[in-house]
Structure 1
Amino acid sequence: MENKLIEFRNVSFRYTDEQPWVLKDCSFTIYENEWVAIIGHNGSGKSTIAKLMNGLIFPQKGEILIGDKIIDEQTVWEIRREVGMVFQNPDNQFVGTTVQDDVAFGMENRGFPREEMIRLIDESLSAVGMEKYRLTEPYRLSGGQKQRVAIAGVLAISPKVLILDEATSMLDPKGRLEIMETVAHIQTERDLSLITITHDLNEVTQADRVIVMNRGELWKEGTPREIFTEKASLRQIGLDVPFSSTLAEELRRYHIPIEKEPLNHEELLEELWTLHSKM
């Protein structure tokens, strides 16, 4: 993760001159092949960051680089081939009458040769486990299947970055788990950078790094374990922490020496087993 892929340099943004700044002097870097989770309470600026990365909006102050290119009106279409985005509601992204038509749409707009489109449709649907549904009408799919197709449509244009903007929030826990397992596999297989904007703590704990936003400013960044050690501070800005971390905090109050901050119940059980073995 040594090569910079996305860089925000003192970026500020507001939607109208009459409104307050949604982002204020925001600077951070995301590297190649890195999984970064961006979290924050509603209105903290995290979805605005996603739109800025994809060139859907442009900053009023500062600059954003994708690779060595600054995002502006001249580079935006080139940038969008590098940065793919999946939104909360997949229905808003469907334009084709069948699954394969929908996956082909982005490639058609970019002038991909037909033979390459056919190959990429096959590869992308196979990557998300939807190859059997290529002739199905999108409205007949379940919510999880729709998100898989939306992800396939983005993958088909071979981006360097995949952004999931609350893309699992409308799914049940099983659907969320399946989508994130698929995405994690794709990231490894294709050497993608993955950016997840989410309230799901399970997604956050899987990331390489977490960026915490608060009132339009970068509040803190670090590994999930580093971030979730700041339990009291996170709660003060309206964020939750994993149940396993909360339980470990309670156990410490009863003088049970949980040293490593557990990110899930498996890690907590391992810590307790290690303590038991030493007794």
Structure 2
Amino acid sequence: MDHSKMEFRNVSFRYQDDMPWVLKNVSFTIHANEWVAIIGHNGSGKSTIAKLMNGLLFPQEGEIYVNGQLVNQETIWDVRKNVGMVFQNPDNQFVGTTVRDDVAFGMENHGMPRKLMIERITESLSAVGMSDYEYHEPHRLSGGQKQRVAIASVLAVSPKYIILDEATAMLDPKGRKEILNTVLDVQDQRNLSLVTITHDLLEVTQADRVMVMNEGEVWLEAGPREVFSRKEQLQKIGLDTPFVTKLAEELQSAGLTLTREPLNHQELLEELWTLRSRM
């Protein structure tokens, strides 16, 4: 039986007994080596999902399985070896006085042997392009560099799943793109599953699959092309669509027929070239 997946089975969660449910009967599966983007307006439950994946919270109803193992108080440390989390604000994740100490911290928590730790520090910093900063103080780094170190710290534990919870939100577009490329390189090298919780629509267009959350429920699960083709419905639940999607819609309403929903500038250009050659 293949256990390499993460599964939510009928999960419901609320922060207190007298508060409304933040998640209501949520079920989904994330497979090995897959990139799933989770989107939804604020309060739709997406960040709560991230914290449940990593055992920072536990559901009142339903079960969560990581590689066949039920997530609960007893299994939490095993689960965290498999599920690494990078948050929006890297400053909250720094504990060491140097970048090196910081990357070592997670491994120390898991009681890894020192020789392995030294190897992993080198490998992880190299994977995120931060080898030259091993002895720097984390608070002196730029936002993008801090996020790279946070990713290296997670990678060092060698998880099977990496969750980025709004991890690029505080960066400018260039920094966002760099961090995303870094993570995608790593995913490629290590066959990781990637879960990104994000507002960045360009990031969403590149994912294998998109999960749209609305009011604590899975509203839609589909490929990015299908998700963004439902512009009007997305807008009704308070979500925007990428600029290219909007432009394509304007062109269609002006009488141009496009064969498919373009996801980026390149695809839109190809559509327009095809149209021109048919004229």
Settle same-fold status: TM greater than 0.5.
yes
**TM-fit CA distance, 1:254:** 1.3
* Contact 2:5 2:31 (8 Å CA) reproduced: yes
SS of the aligned residue for 1:118 comes to: helix
**TM-fit CA distance, 1:22:** 0.1
* Contact 1:4 1:30 (8 Å CA) reproduced: no
Q: How many residues align?
A: 278
C-alpha distance in structure 2 between counterparts of 1:140 and 1:133, whole Å:
10
* Contact 1:10 1:25 (8 Å CA) reproduced: yes
User: Could you tell me which residue of structure 2 aligns to residue 227 of structure 1?
Assistant: 227
**TM-fit CA distance, 1:241:** 0.5
* Contact 1:3 1:32 (8 Å CA) reproduced: no
2:168 is equivalent to residue 161 of structure 1? no
User: Could you tell me which residue of structure 1 aligns to residue 76 of structure 2?
Assistant: 76
**TM-fit CA distance, 1:19:** 0.8
User: Could you tell me which residue of structure 1 aligns to residue 9 of structure 2?
Assistant: 9
Counterparts of residues 15-94 of structure 1 (less than 5 Å): 15-94=15-94
**TM-fit CA distance, 1:4:** 4.9
**TM-fit CA distance, 1:259:** 1.6
SS of the aligned residue for 2:139 comes to: helix
**TM-fit CA distance, 1:277:** 1.2
Deviation above 4 Å: which 4+ runs of structure 1? none
User: Could you tell me which residue of structure 1 aligns to residue 96 of structure 2?
Assistant: 96
User: Could you tell me which residue of structure 1 aligns to residue 204 of structure 2?
Assistant: 204
Runs (5+) with no aligned partner, structure 2 = none
What do residues 227-248 of structure 1 show as CA deviations (whole Å, max 9, x unaligned)?
Answer: 0011000000000111111111
* Contact 1:85 1:163 (8 Å CA) reproduced: yes
SS of the aligned residue for 1:18 comes to: coil
2:260 is equivalent to residue 260 of structure 1? yes
How large is the Cα RMSD of the aligned pairs?
0.9
What do residues 173-192 of structure 1 show as CA deviations (whole Å, max 9, x unaligned)?
Answer: 11001000111111011000
C-alpha distance in structure 2 between counterparts of 1:261 and 1:3, whole Å:
35
User: Could you tell me which residue of structure 2 aligns to residue 184 of structure 1?
Assistant: 184
C-alpha distance in structure 2 between counterparts of 1:184 and 1:114, whole Å:
28
Letter in 1 for 2:260: K
Letter in 1 for 2:81: R
**TM-fit CA distance, 1:3:** 6.2
2:245 is equivalent to residue 245 of structure 1? yes
* Contact 1:13 1:61 (8 Å CA) reproduced: yes
User: Could you tell me which residue of structure 1 aligns to residue 172 of structure 2?
Assistant: 172
What do residues 6-36 of structure 1 show as CA deviations (whole Å, max 9, x unaligned)?
Answer: 1110000000011100000000111000000
Percent of aligned pairs with the same amino acid: 68
User: Could you tell me which residue of structure 1 aligns to residue 141 of structure 2?
Assistant: 141
SS of the aligned residue for 1:72 comes to: coil
What do residues 22-60 of structure 1 show as CA deviations (whole Å, max 9, x unaligned)?
Answer: 000000111000000000000000000000000001000
User: Could you tell me which residue of structure 2 aligns to residue 107 of structure 1?
Assistant: 107
* Contact 2:37 2:210 (8 Å CA) reproduced: yes
Letter in 1 for 2:64: I
**TM-fit CA distance, 1:111:** 1.1
* Contact 2:3 2:68 (8 Å CA) reproduced: no
Letter in 1 for 2:257: P
User: Could you tell me which residue of structure 2 aligns to residue 270 of structure 1?
Assistant: 270
User: Could you tell me which residue of structure 1 aligns to residue 217 of structure 2?
Assistant: 217
User: Could you tell me which residue of structure 2 aligns to residue 124 of structure 1?
Assistant: 124
C-alpha distance in structure 1 between counterparts of 2:258 and 2:3, whole Å:
36
**TM-fit CA distance, 1:168:** 0.2
C-alpha distance in structure 2 between counterparts of 1:223 and 1:264, whole Å:
14
**TM-fit CA distance, 1:266:** 1.2
What do residues 194-233 of structure 1 show as CA deviations (whole Å, max 9, x unaligned)?
Answer: 0000000011011000000000000000000010011000
Letter in 2 for 1:126: S
